[in-house]
Structure 1
């Protein structure tokens, strides 16, 4: 294996066997945020949330956990190029956290948002044959009845 033509990336872990498959990897930025909300006459309320930012569409979404990852070597041609910059993705994540805090906790003062951990990860997809047609399989979600 020639290391010059391969790139090491963090891939979201999956129970599927990916050996021997042609993968397409889609980029995300995962951000773990600690939010401190000031309250009168009490200690600040602390909340934790994970935001996943799609680095192609620029859409931030709340996640239920920070995913486990595994490092793999893959050809750069199999990576979907990120369109959204790292700084813009972090800004979008902070904006979503602020909207979530205002909705969930009805905060009347600006909370302090601390970025605790962030990681650029990829989600793998591959093509498979089902009922005589080719379908794209998401390695995290898997196949649903609608896909078949």
Structure 2
């Protein structure tokens, strides 16, 4: 058994289910911009770095985390190390910050908080089909489709 921090699930299946924990590094960054002839600017930035595909998303805040005691087989191991994740978060923050302020200098960046956290993907069965449910946005995906064995079905707010 292993103790991990999990992003608090919003959506849960109504039936009995298993789960997989997908790795992220969550950052609260503070950007300090110097400006000529004007007051300096300070921004808070929240980055969610995918430790499997090295993508970064901006968040509105630091998501609530829960401690779970889980079997290690349910936890996906990160493919991205801490330094790569930090650089991706900084890159994302600078791109966002530079679109909001004009400065001759790159910002000084302070890491206020960072955590290794896992997003829950629920796995359950409905009408004989195995389904994966994203615990944060409610999207559902057929496991057969993801494995390349069936027709595409997707239910949820972010399905296209």
TM range (shorter): 0.7 to 0.9
C-alpha distance in structure 2 between counterparts of 1:59 and 1:51, whole Å: 10
Q: CA deviation at 1:17?
A: 5.4
Aligned length: 143
Query: Cα distance, 1:146 vs. partner?
Result: 3.3
Q: Tell me the residue number matched to 2:8.
A: 13
Q: 1:100 and 1:82 mapped to 2: Cα distance?
A: 25
The structure-2 alpha-carbon separation of the partners of 1:134 and 1:20, relative to structure 1 and needing over 3 Å to count, comes to closer
Displacement over 6 Å in runs of 4+: none
Aligned counterpart, 2:26: 30
Deviation at 1:44, TM superposition (A): 1.2
**Which runs of 5 or more structure 1 residues have no equivalent in the other structure?**
1-5
Deviations 1:75-134 (A, max 9, x none): 111111100001110011111111112222233321111111101100111112234322
Matched, 1:146 2:142: no
TM-score (norm 1): 0.86
Alignment gaps of 5+ in structure 2: 141-152
Contact 1:30 1:51 (8 Å CA) reproduced: yes
Distance in 2 (alpha carbons) for counterparts of 1:43 and 1:139 = 42
Paired residues of 1:129 and 1:135 also in contact (CA < 8 A): yes
- Comparing 91-100 with 138-147, greater Cα deviation is found at 138-147
Query: What is the aligned-residue RMSD (CA, Å)?
Result: 2.2
Q: Is the 8 A contact 1:14 1:139 kept in 2?
A: yes
State the match for 2:120 in structure 1: 124
Q: What is the TM-score normalised by the length of structure 2? A: 0.80
My pick for the range that moved more, 58-67 or 130-139, is 130-139
Following superposition, the deviation at residue 56 of structure 1 comes to 0.6
